[in-house]
Amino acid sequence: MLYVSTRGKSDLVSSAYAINRGLAKDGGLFVPQSFPKIRLSDIKAMEKKPYTERAIDVLFQFLTDYTEDELRECVEQAYTTIKFGDNPVPLVPVTANTSVLELWHGPTSAFKDMALQLLPHLMTKATQKNGEDRKVVILVATSGDTGKAALEGFSDVQNTEIIVFYPSEGVSDIQKQQMITQMGKNVQVYGIEGNFDDAQRGVKQIFGDENMARELAEKGYVFSSANSINWGRLVPQIVYYFSAYVDAVKAGSIKLGDAINFVVPTGNFGNILAGYYAKLMGLPVERLLCASNSNNVLTDFINTGIYDRKREFYKTISPSMDILVSSNLERLLYAVSDGDAEDVAVLMNKLNEEGNYKISGEALKKIQSQFFAAWVDEVETKEAIGRVYADHSYLMDTHTAVAWRALEKYRFLTSDNTFTIVLSTASPYKFCNSVLEAIHDNKENEANPFALLRKLEAETKLPIPIRMEALEKLPVLHKQVIPVDQMAETVMNNLK
Ligand SMILES: *Cc1c(COP(=O)(O)O)cnc(C)c1O
């Protein structure tokens, strides 16, 4: 299996190369040349397997330059009981036709762990395979969750260095505390005076800077990315769509072969794209529901075919989705253009230069046949948390609640009552303040984030994630906040 760039001006590369580099030379994203097929009988066979073996089944189809034993080594180091508990991805039935897939049982309490616990192991092996002797510098722009998950994954991983940029005023208290207390000899964390899009743009600029790349190469470094533009981030996410489907069959919610819906709280379009890829591989999926918060650029895009990032940016209570440029959409455009990379390159240039683009009617039709999109405001998000907790004793975080409410809108509009899996992307503790306000329906006055954790625990009896509770006693190691235009020089001056 070889990989091409979505912009067509890059050579065919192996998966190890794609994982090592992150971004293609022409600025595009790596995608597999074709999609391997998984048969219903293969899916059935997954029923008896633990998550790690299900993961190998899927990964092996894409990462063909890794041996099965190498992949086994990677997944067994990633999805350990110590890090994820007995079941890394529980599927929790909430109503007769709705189950929630909890993707946040990893070390940082957000779904990013599913990929970022595995990526460093894939990366280390990729470095060996490529005969790369330079040190890999991982640059991360984060809206909150990727940063911590990447830090946790790469901390003290040999021959790597990781540098994280987060919007200093754009993450939750717990998210910030998680990042600024991160230990490890090879980690750096900086707040930036800007939002996530600024951080992401800054990182992309650094990647695209040939002079910097040359200077780095001379010093013995090479850049890579742990953002979901990296193929090594996406492929582990395909696994849990299969796993969730298999568990729904096992639970008797559906019969093998039934097509189901997934609803995904979406920001950079990485998670939901993995669901689309699972469908391309043969997973019986009816519809993928793309849920956004007030930053509803994707809702507009899927409904009209026009992508326009020139709009007001809102800071919401689901900050991991506060994004106006969804990088992975480029991979979907490539897929629906039947691999017309030139077309994709034109659209991406237009987005860069003018801030918007419009796709063809034909491409839009294809997208609309697979996806439905809706957005959910702050009041609706909190209302959904409060109501689902009251009616079903199920507590959701703000991101999951956006997905839940979007599903309700879909069902109302379409009368489609197909069995649906809601992807739950964060523990309610990660956004404790908003969750407490939602279940009390009033303003929360407690400001100390750790007092808030204890308050939610006392009330709901759900245990606080151990690592989150422990943050309170950890020393702050990373205090620096920098202007956006100093990101590049900060990187160059601080390599270890
Ligand atoms: C990253 C994140 C999202 C958005 O996922 P994408 O893959 O960027 O679409 C949603 N919810 C949470 C909690 C996240 O951390």
**Distance in Å, CA 71 to ligand 1 centroid:** 25
265 lines ligand 1 (CB under 6 A): yes
Nearest ligand 1 atom, CA 266: 9
Q: Which residues contact 215 (CB under 8 A, 6 or more apart)?
A: 492
Residue 362 tokens read as 């034909």
Q: Is the pLDDT of residue 235 over 90?
A: yes
The question of whether 112 is a catalytic residue gets the answer yes
Nearest ligand 1 atom, CA 268: 8
270 lines ligand 1 (CB under 6 A): yes
Average pLDDT over residues 397-420: 98
What is the structure's pLDDT at 10? Answer: 80
Alpha helices in 68-209 (DSSP H): 68-78, 81-84, 112-116, 119-129, 145-154, 173-180, 196-208
Q: Is the pLDDT of residue 228 over 90?
A: no
Q: Which of 49, 83, 112, 479 is catalytic?
A: 112
**Distance in Å, CA 270 to ligand 1 centroid:** 8
What is the structure's pLDDT at 36? Answer: 97
Within a 10 A sphere around the Cβ of 458, how many other Cβ atoms?
8
The string of DSSP codes covering 307-344 is: EE--S-----SSGGG--S--TTHHHHHHHHTTT-HHHH
pLDDT tens digits for range 260-301: 999 999 999 999 999 999 999 999 999 999 999 999 999 999
Nearest ligand 1 atom, CA 399: 11
pLDDT tens digits for range 198-212: 998 899 889 888 898
167 lines ligand 1 (CB under 6 A): no
Nearest ligand 1 atom, CA 144: 15
Beta bridge partners of 308: 356
What is the structure's pLDDT at 250? Answer: 97
Query: How confident is residue 9, by pLDDT bands cut at 50, 70 and 90?
Result: confident
Q: Are the C-beta atoms of 89 and 244 separated by less than 8 Å?
A: yes
What is the structure's pLDDT at 440? Answer: 93
Separation CA 47–CA 54 (nearest Å): 9
102: closest CA among 394, 384, 458, 374? Answer: 394
Query: How confident is residue 79, by pLDDT bands cut at 50, 70 and 90?
Result: very high
The string of DSSP codes covering 93-117 is: EEETTEEEEE---STTSBTHHHHHT
pLDDT tens digits for range 110-167: 999 999 999 999 999 999 998 988 899 999 999 888 999 999 999 998 889 999 999 9
pLDDT tens digits for range 174-183: 999 999 999 9
**Distance in Å, CA 157 to ligand 1 centroid:** 24
426 lines ligand 1 (CB under 6 A): yes
320 lines ligand 1 (CB under 6 A): yes
Q: Tokens 């599913």 map to which residue?
A: 114
267 lines ligand 1 (CB under 6 A): yes
Q: Is the pLDDT of residue 42 over 80?
A: yes
271 lines ligand 1 (CB under 6 A): yes
- As a whole number, the mean pLDDT across the chain is 95
- Of all residues in the chain, the percent with pLDDT exceeding 70 is 100
Separation CA 162–CA 160 (nearest Å): 7
Task: Give the Å distances, CA to CA, from 362 to 333, 347, 351, 358, 425.
Answer: 12, 15, 20, 12, 32
427: closest CA among 186, 104, 160? Answer: 104
Within a 10 A sphere around the Cβ of 130, how many other Cβ atoms?
17
pLDDT tens digits for range 246-262: 999 999 999 999 999 99
228 lines ligand 1 (CB under 6 A): yes
What is the structure's pLDDT at 227? Answer: 85
Query: How confident is residue 25, by pLDDT bands cut at 50, 70 and 90?
Result: confident
Instruction: State which of 29, 425, 468 you would mutate to test the pocket of ligand 1, scoring each by most atoms of that ligand within 8 A of its C-beta.
Output: 425
Q: Which of 10-14, 306-310, 393-397 has the lowest mean pLDDT?
A: 10-14
79: closest CA among 41, 44, 119? Answer: 119
Q: Which residues contact 102 (CB under 8 A, 6 or more apart)?
A: 89, 90, 91, 92, 424
Q: Tokens 């595995």 map to which residue?
A: 118
pTM, 2 dp:
0.95
Separation CA 450–CA 276 (nearest Å): 38
Average pLDDT over residues 81-104: 97
Q: In one letter, which amino acid is 258?
A: D
Handedness of CA 347, 350, 355, 359 (dihedral sign): negative
Q: Give me the phi and psi of 69, to 5 degrees please.
A: -65, -40
- The three-class DSSP label of residue 54 is helix
Q: Supply the residue whose CA is at minimum distance from atom 14 of ligand 1.
A: 320
- Of all residues in the chain, the percent with pLDDT exceeding 90 is 86
